[in-house]
Amino acid sequence: MLYQRSSDLFKEAQKYIPGGVNSPVRAFRSVGGTPVFMKSARGAYLTDADGQTYIDYINSWGPMILGHNHPKVLEAVTEQLKGGFSFGTPTELETEIAKLIVGSVPNIDKVRMVNSGTEACMSAIRLARGYTARNKIIKFEGCYHGHSDSFLIKAGSGAATFGNPNSPGVTQGTAQDTLLAKYNDLESVRLIFENNPGEIAAVILEPIAGNMGCVPPKKDFLEELRLLCDKNRTLLIFDEVMTGFRAKMGGAQEFFNIKADIITYGKVIGGGMPVGAFSGRAEVMDHLSPEGTVYQAGTLSGNPIAMRAGFTTLSLLKEDSGIFDRITQTTQILTKELKAIFEKAGIQVCINHCSSMMTVFFGTDEVSNFDDAANADHDLFNKYFHFLLENGIYLPPSGYETWFISDCIKKDEVEKTLDISRKFVSGL
Ligand code: KE4
């Protein structure tokens, strides 16, 4: 592969954009090397600035579940554009997509659209605090809920103490209200509840973790969390920015048959446009302004172009619900065959997968929490990443990220991925 144009573009970008990117993970700091600039995409493929194509396992970090530039989404958005870009008024389309979401997801009555997953999760926390009149929240190490201050927290010393900021600019005042538990470790959650009786507004988690790599919940973990929240009159928030309309049409709530109190969305519900949302039963959601007193707002929330892209994407998923099984099956085949390739070569590997999300962790047999993920062999992953990139396969540029399978990744793409992976191990 040649990267001359990408290299030139990256030099230019760094003059005007911090790190040359508008989101840090894109800068390849985790895997090393120069980021590849993309200029177009279609189906399962990205095309870079040098005109080279790649099988895409990022799919814009989840949104492009149908594959890139689906003709029906393109047609619908093109048509919508002719009616104008943004009004800042209510529109019928916002009710249509809200009805589609409420009708597709168990256990929710109302939904508020925002412009990103960060905004959805930030607002969900504020709503939970307003609804419960409590200040503290519990999150899990390794789970990412966007970059609002309450979430940029690392574990304090011992589970009973407060969190600490993990970014400059986050105050201790904010950090003290966020407590860190360990994913898949119920005892760590129980301890926090015991040490903070009556003070926890919400527990927030990714029901299938995707931001420490893919880490599924252990059996009964979600059920027991639900019971702990009920016992402590604490709201359970499912951050379904990744899993919403990917695990199933009804997301992780349907997938695991667990009811959360507030559910956040992003990615797929925008079909590639900037959209987030948070939802729940009316008794909780009606605390939101202007109905209630918990304030939240957004100039471009419910923007007609973004809504059209999202509505069309969700409608296509609803019309063809077989997609969820198809992309899950593709994920299972990839996982099984890759594991066989690495193990045949004597390479220790754990490939976590759940629905159509997966992550390859080298040098370990099990990854059930963030510590396990951190102990994996990320150097070997980085070599794997670059070997596949050189051979036209684009993985997420970090061993702590999840591969997102789209409906356009078919037999040919799987076969090529397996073939290049065989070449990779033969060269080790
Ligand atoms: P955004 O603000 O990036 O739309 O959503 C934040 C967010 C919230 N919750 C979950 C479970 C998420 O995965 C995300 C964002 N995911 C990352 C991927 N690790 C987006 C990629 C990026 O940061 O550039």
- The CATH number linked to 30 is 3.90.1150.10
Domain membership of residue 13 (yes or no) is yes
Res 164: pLDDT: 83
Q: Is the CB of 116 under 6 A from ligand 1?
A: yes
Contact by Cβ (8 Å): 134, 233: no
Domain membership of residue 241 (yes or no) is yes
- Rounded to whole angstroms, the Cα distance separating 203 from 171 reads 21
- Ligand 1, atom 5: closest residue by C-alpha: 117
Q: How many CB atoms lie within 10 A of CB 90?
A: 9
**Catalytic residue flag (residue 144):** yes
pLDDT of residue 11 exceeding 70, the answer is: yes
The catalytic residue among 56, 177, 239, 372 is 239
Task: Please give the share of the chain, as a percent, with pLDDT higher than 90.
Answer: 96
Domain membership of residue 66 (yes or no) is no
List alpha helices for 171-303, DSSP H: 172-175, 186-195, 221-232, 251-256, 282-285
Q: Is the CB of 146 under 6 A from ligand 1?
A: yes
Buried b (16+ CB within 10 A) or exposed e, 279-316: bbeeebbebbeeeeebebeeebbbbbbbbbbbbbbbbb
For residue 357, what is the enclosing H or E element?
A: strand 357-362
Residues 258 and 394 in one domain: no
pLDDT of residue 205 exceeding 80, the answer is: yes
Domain membership of residue 63 (yes or no) is no
φ, ψ of residue 179 in degrees (nearest 5):
-110, 140
Task: List pLDDT tens digits, range 83-126.
Answer: 999 999 999 999 999 999 999 998 999 999 999 999 999 999 99
Compute, in angstroms, the gap from residue 62 CA to the centroid of ligand 1.
9
- The DSSP 8-state label assigned to residue 368 in this structure reads -
Q: Is the CB of 213 under 6 A from ligand 1?
A: no
pLDDT of residue 162 exceeding 80, the answer is: no
Of ligand 1's listed atoms, the one at least distance from the Cα of 266 is 4
Task: List pLDDT tens digits, range 400-419.
Answer: 999 999 999 999 999 999 99
Task: Please give the share of the chain, as a percent, with pLDDT higher than 70.
Answer: 98
CA-wise closest residue to 131 among 282, 356, 305:
282
Task: List pLDDT tens digits, range 258-267.
Answer: 999 999 999 9
Res 1: pLDDT: 85
- What does pLDDT average to over the chain? 96
Q: Which residue has the tokens 């993309």?
A: 38
Instruction: Name the residue of 21, 23, 28, 61 whose CB sits within 8 Å of the most ligand 1 atoms, as the mutation to test its pocket.
Output: 61
Q: Is the CB of 243 under 6 A from ligand 1?
A: no
Q: Is the CB of 239 under 6 A from ligand 1?
A: yes
Q: Is the CB of 61 under 6 A from ligand 1?
A: yes
Q: Is the CB of 165 under 6 A from ligand 1?
A: no
Q: Is the CB of 60 under 6 A from ligand 1?
A: no
For 23-36, what is the mean pLDDT?
Answer: 96
Residues 76 and 28 in one domain: no
Residues 117 and 231 in one domain: yes
Residues 233 and 330 in one domain: no
What residue numbers bound the domain in which 20 lies?
4-57+321-426
Of ligand 1's listed atoms, the one at least distance from the Cα of 206 is 11
- Rounded to whole angstroms, the Cα distance separating 323 from 188 reads 37
Q: How many CB atoms lie within 10 A of CB 186?
A: 16
- Rounded to whole angstroms, the Cα distance separating 411 from 197 reads 53
Residues 119 and 175 in one domain: yes
- Ligand 1, atom 8: closest residue by C-alpha: 145
- Ligand 1, atom 19: closest residue by C-alpha: 211
**Whole-Å CA distances, 257 to 33, 106, 136, 226, 260:** 43, 9, 27, 11, 10
Residues 199 and 278 in one domain: yes
- Ligand 1, atom 20: closest residue by C-alpha: 61
Q: Is the CB of 265 under 6 A from ligand 1?
A: no
Residues 312 and 332 in one domain: no
Res 161: pLDDT: 52
Domain membership of residue 154 (yes or no) is yes
Domain membership of residue 62 (yes or no) is no
For 156-173, what is the mean pLDDT?
Answer: 76
Residues 75 and 182 in one domain: yes
Cis peptide upstream of residue 90 (ω within 30 degrees of 0):
no
Of ligand 1's listed atoms, the one at least distance from the Cα of 401 is 19
Compute, in angstroms, the gap from residue 275 CA to the centroid of ligand 1.
12
Residues 280 and 142 in one domain: yes
Compute, in angstroms, the gap from residue 190 CA to the centroid of ligand 1.
27
Res 206: pLDDT: 98
For 353-378, what is the mean pLDDT?
Answer: 97
Residues 237 and 313 in one domain: yes
pLDDT of residue 65 exceeding 90, the answer is: yes
Task: List pLDDT tens digits, range 285-321.
Answer: 999 999 999 999 999 999 999 999 999 999 999 999 9
Domain membership of residue 422 (yes or no) is yes
Q: Is the CB of 206 under 6 A from ligand 1?
A: yes
- Ligand 1, atom 17: closest residue by C-alpha: 61
Res 159: pLDDT: 46
Contact by Cβ (8 Å): 19, 27: yes
Residues 378 and 366 in one domain: yes
Burial of 4: CB neighbours in 10 Å, binned 0-12, 13-18, 19+: exposed
Task: List pLDDT tens digits, range 224-253.
Answer: 999 999 999 999 999 999 999 999 999 999
The catalytic residue among 3, 45, 144, 400 is 144
Among 319, 341, 363, identify where a domain stops: 319
Q: How many domains does the chain have?
A: 2
Compute, in angstroms, the gap from residue 152 CA to the centroid of ligand 1.
13
Contact by Cβ (8 Å): 264, 238: yes
Q: Is the CB of 211 under 6 A from ligand 1?
A: yes
**Catalytic residue flag (residue 50):** no
Compute, in angstroms, the gap from residue 330 CA to the centroid of ligand 1.
23
Residues 299 and 409 in one domain: no
Among 297, 319, 341, identify where a domain stops: 319
Contact by Cβ (8 Å): 21, 387: no
Domain membership of residue 302 (yes or no) is yes
Among 296, 319, 342, identify where a domain stops: 319
pLDDT of residue 197 exceeding 70, the answer is: yes
User: For residue 254, what is the domain's CATH number?
Assistant: 3.40.640.10
